[in-house]
Structure 1
Amino acid sequence: MCGARRVDGLKSRRVGMETGLTKKKSRMANMELLRIVSMMLIVVLHYLGKSELLPSLADKSLGLMAYYPWFFEALAIVAVNVYMLITGFFLADAPFKVSRLIRTVLQVWFYAVIIGVVAGAFGLFPAEGLCLHYLLCLVFPVSMNHYWFMTAYVFMIVFTPFVAAGARVLGKKQLQIVLAILLIVFSVVKSVLPVRLDSDMLGYDSVWYLCVCVLAVYIRLYGIPFLHTVKRGLLLWVGGAVAIFLVTMGLRIVYVKTDQLGTVLSMCYHYNHMLTLLASLGIFSAFYRMKLSGARVTKWILRVSPYTLGVYLLHEHLALRYAWQDWLGAGQAAGSPLMILWILLAVCVVFLAGILVDALRSLVFAGAHKVLSFLAPYRKLVAVVDNLDEKMRENKERDED
C-alpha cells in the first residue's frame, strides 16, 4: 500500500504544474520576471505606506482623491507573499545548501553595515538616532530583525527542505489536510472575525511564511488545476485586489456611520488575509503559465533577477527607510492626479539603484573570495561548506531514488 501511494504521489506530481527538468528550464525566465515584478510592487508598497500618500481610513472627511492610492495598494499588496512563494517553489525541489544560507546572511550583513556607515557619514540615522539598539541592528541584522522580511526569508531557506521532505512522505491528501489546518488557523479565522486577534502578526512573521512555504511546496508537487491559464490567474489577482478595496471601503462606511470596527479597517490589506493570499496565488499562477518570447528579453530578465533582493536591502535599511520617499517626490504626489507618475518614477529610480548597488556588491564579494582564497584557513572553510552541500545533494538524490 505504501509503495502504491508513493507511485500515485509521483504521478500526481508529474501532472500537477509540469515541474520536470525541461519545463523548469524553459519557464525559468517567467518566474524570474515575476521576482522582478514582485520587488517593484514591494517598492510601491513602501512608497505609499511609508509616506503620507495613504490617508488614514479612520479620517471621516476623505475626498475622492484619497481613495485611489488604496486601490494601488490593493494591487501591490500581493508582493511579499509572491516573493516568498517563488522562493519556496524553487527550494522545494532543491537540496539544502549551507552555502546558500551563508551567502544570504553575508549579503544582509553587508548591506546593514556598509549602508549604515555610508548613511551615517551623511548624517542619516533612524528616528531614534545613533544608539546601542541601532548599532546592534547593523551588526546582527537577522537576529535583531533589522529587515523583518530577511529574518523570515532566512527562516524559509532553512525550513523549506524539511517541509518538502515531509510533504513527500505525507502524500497529497494528508498534505491538503495539513495545509487546510494551517490556513484556517492563521488566515481564514482572522479574515472573517470582526476583531483583531492578539496572536495575529498581520503576516509580518516567520509563522505565516511557514504557511506560505507549505503552500509553495504543495503547488510544486501537485499544482492548482483551476489556475491553468494566464487569464484565470490575472483575473484572480485583479479580482482579489478589487475585493480587498471594496471590502475595506465597506468597513470604512460602517465605521464612519457607527464608530465601530475601527481596529479592523485595514485588515484586508494584511499579508495573511485570505483575499491577499488568493490574489497572490492569482498573479503567481499567471506568470507561471506565461510564455515569454525573445532571447534578448529572456537574457535581460535572467541577468537582472539575481540582484532583486538588493533592491529591498538598500531601500529598507533603517537609515533610509523613511527618507527616500521624500527624495522622490512623495510630498508633491500627495493628493495629485499625477500620483501614478510619481509612483512609477520612484519604482524606476529605487529599482535601478538597487540593481546597480547589488551588482557592485556581487563584484566585491567575488573579489573578496579571490583574495581570501590565498589563505589556507579560508580554503579549508570553503571545502567544508562545499562538502556539506555535496552530501546534501547526494542524500536528496538517494531519497528520491
Structure 2
Amino acid sequence: MRVVTMLMIIGLHYFLFGGPLFHAKGLNQKLAWFIEAFFFVAVNCYVLISGYFLVTKKNFHMKKIASLWLQVVFYTTIFYSMHLYFHPSFHWKDFFHVILPVRYEAYWFVTAYFGLYFISPFLAHFARSMTKQQYVKFLIISTSLFGFYSFFRPESDPFKMHGGYSTLWFIVLFFWGGYIRLWDLSMPKEKALLIYSASCVFTFLSSWPVHWLLKMEGFKVGKFGLNGFYNYNSPSVWMASLALFFVFYKIEIGNRWLRKLVLWMGPLTFGVYLIHMNQHVAQELWGHWIHVSHAYTGNALSFLGHMMVTVLGIFIVCLLIDWMRLKLFQLLAPWGNNMWKSFADKLKLLRGRLSC
C-alpha cells in the first residue's frame, strides 16, 4: 500500500506545484480537483500503515531513529551541495537547515512523522494497555477534538492542528491504525471501496459551497484554513483514508514476481518523497524540467496522460536513486555499525556513572 500512497502523493504535488489546481481553466481544473480528492487520503494512509505496524513494537530502538534522520540528512546535504555548485552562495543559516532538517522543517511531513516515530513506543504501550471499550472512547474523543472540532474551527485552530499538517493529527491516525491491528477491525473490500469513493466525491462536491460560504463569513481560507473539505483532518478525508486502508488490508498478490517487486519498492518509497520534495529539486522539477502548463491548457485526455506519465516517471527515477543510496549505506554499514556500537557503549557507560 505504501507504493500506491506514494504515487498518490506525487500526484498531489503534480496538481499543486504543477499549477492545474489554481491555473487551469474549465474542465481541466475541475478534473484536477476531482482527482485531488481521491489522492488527498495518501498522507493519512501512510500514517495509518505506520500505526498498524508500530503499535505492537515494545522496544525503543534509537538506531532506527538515527537511520531515519541519516537518510533525511543524506539527501538534504547532497542536494544542497549540488545547489551550491550551480549557485555559489553559502550561508550558515542554510547549512544548519541542512544538517538539522527536522528542527527547521526541511520537509513538513518528516518533522511531523519524526515526532510521531520518536514517541511511538510510548503511544503503543498506551494503546495496548486499554481495553476495547476504553480504546473506542479514546478514538471518539480524540478524533472529535483534533479532527472534526478543529476542522470546523479553522479561524481559531484551537488545538493548533494546521489542517492535519501536524504531529498531533498523526498521533490520532496512529491510534486508528493501532486499533485495527490490536482488535482486528475489518471491512469488506467492496464496502470499503464504496465508502472511499463516496467520501472523495463528497470532498469534491462540498468544497465550493463550503469554501464560498465560509469566505463570505470572513473565515480564513488558505493552506492552513478551510479549503472546503480538502484538509487531512476533515471528516470526509478521514473516512476516505480509513476506507482505502481497508481496500488494501490483507490483500494477497498472487503473482510471485509482482509480489517481489512490491516488497522491493516498499522500503524505498520514503526516499522517493525525500528526493522529489527536496526544496532544491522541487524548484527545478516543477519550475524548469516539467512543464505541466502545456498539458492542462490542452484537452482533458492529454492532460490525464501527461499526469500519469509524469507521476510514474518521477516515481521510477526517485526509486532508482534511493536504491543506489541504500546500496551505498549497505556498503558503509560495517563502519556505521562500529561507530554506532561505540556511541551506544559510551551512553551505557554514562548511564552507569549517573546511576552510581
Bucket of the pairwise TM-score, normalised by the shorter protein? 0.7 to 0.9
Task: Say which SS state the counterpart of residue 178 (structure 2) adopts.
Answer: helix
Match of 2:137 among 158, 177, 181: 177
Aligned to 2:108: 148
Change (3 A) 1:372 1:152: closer
C-alpha deviation, 1:197, in angstroms:
2.8
Q: Matches of 1:328 and 1:201 in 2, distance apart?
A: 30
Distance 1:384 1:288 in 2: 43
Partner of 1:83: 46
Q: Which residue number in structure 2 is paired with residue 300 of structure 1? A: 261
Shift in alpha-carbon separation, 1:202–1:240, aligned structure 2, 3 A: same
The answer to whether the 8 Å contact 2:76/2:99 transfers is yes
Runs of 5+ unmatched residues, structure 2: 349-356
Q: Name the counterpart of 1:109.
A: 73
CA contact (8 A) 2:57 2:124 kept: no
Quote the residue 1:50 is aligned against: 17
* 2:236 paired residue among 270, 275, 293: 275
Distance change in 2, residues 1:98/1:230 (3 Å):
same
2: CA distance, partners of 1:351 / 1:385: 40
How far 1:191 moved relative to its partner?
3.8
Q: Distance in 2 between matches of 1:213 and 1:108?
A: 22
Structure 1 Cα separation of the partners of residues 210 and 336 of structure 2 = 58
Instruction: Return closer, same or farther for 1:260/1:382 CA change in 2, 3 Å cut-off.
Output: closer
Matched, 1:237 2:196: yes
Mapped to 2, the partners of 1:371 and 1:161 lie a distance apart of 28
Distance 1:255 1:215 in 2: 30
Q: 1:186 and 1:255, CA in 2 relative to 1: closer, same or farther beyond 3 A?
A: closer
1:50/1:322 contact within 8 Å kept: no
Partners in 2 of 1:98 and 1:302 — Cα distance? 25
Q: Which residue of 2 aligns with 1:164?
A: 124
Change (3 A) 1:339 1:215: same
The amino acid that maps onto 1:197 is D
Q: Which residue of 2 aligns with 1:197?
A: 157
Q: CA deviation at 1:382?
A: 6.6
In 2, Cα distance between equivalents of 1:291 and 1:385: 44
The percentage of counterpart residues that share the same residue type is: 26
For the residues of structure 2 that align with 1:383 and 1:361, how far apart are their CA atoms? 28
Judged with a 3 Å threshold, the aligned counterparts in structure 2 of structure 1 residues 379 and 289 are, in CA distance, closer, same or farther, namely closer
Q: 1:218 corresponds to which residue?
A: 179
Q: Describe the superposition over 1:35-65 as per-residue Cα deviations: whole angstroms up to 9, x where unpaired.
A: 0000111101111112321117xx9xx6333
User: TM-score if structure 1 supplies the norm length?
Assistant: 0.78
Deviations 1:339-374 (A, max 9, x none): 21121122112111111111111111112223456x
Q: State how far apart, in whole Å, the 1-side matches of 2:113 and 2:347 are.
A: 21
Instruction: Tell me the TM-score normalised to structure 2 length.
Output: 0.87
Counterpart Cα distance in 1 of 2:96 and 2:333? 26
Question: C-alpha distance in 1, partners of 2:308/2:92?
Answer: 37
Per-residue CA deviation, residues 364-401 of structure 1 (Å, 9 max, x unaligned), is 1112223456x6x5553477899xxxxxxxxxxxxxxx
Does the 8 Å CA contact 1:53/1:333 hold for their aligned counterparts?
A: no
Q: Contact 1:329/1:342 (CA < 8 Å) preserved in 2?
A: no
8 Å Cα contact 2:52-2:178 kept in structure 1: yes
Alignment partner, residue 328 of structure 1: 290
In 2, distance between residues paired with 1:143 and 1:378?
22
Distance in 2 of aligned mates of 1:213 and 1:41: 20
Q: Partners in 1 of 2:336 and 2:127 — Cα distance?
A: 40
Give the whole-Å Cα distance in 2 for the aligned partners of 1:184 and 1:281.
15
Map of 2:205 onto structure 1: 246
Deviation at 1:108, TM superposition (A): 0.7
Task: Report how many aligned residue pairs link the two structures.
Answer: 340
In 2, Cα distance between the equivalents of 1:281 and 1:97?
28
For the residue of structure 2 that corresponds to 1:232, the secondary structure is: helix
Contact 1:44 1:347 in 2 (8 A): yes
How many Å apart are 1:333 and its aligned residue? 2.0
CA distance in 2, matches of 1:76, 1:108: 24
Q: CA RMSD in A?
A: 2.6
Name the CA shift for 1:78/1:385 in 2 (closer, same or farther; >3 Å): farther
Residue 302 (structure 1) shift: 0.6
Structure 1 position 262, deviation (Å): 6.6
Any idea what the Cα deviations from partners look like across 1:189-219, whole Å, max 9, x if unmatched? Answer: 1344585635341111111111111111111
Contact 2:34 2:201 in 1 (8 A): yes
- Measure, in 1, the Cα distance between the counterparts of 2:244 and 2:318: 23
Q: 1:209/1:262 Cα in 2 relative to 1: closer, same or farther (>3 Å)? A: closer
CA distance in 2, matches of 1:340, 1:107: 33
Taking the aligned partners of 1:340 and 1:186, their CA distance within structure 2 comes to 35
User: Could you tell me how far apart the structure 1 residues matched to 2:28 and 2:130 are?
Assistant: 51
Secondary structure of the residue that 2:4 maps to in structure 1? helix
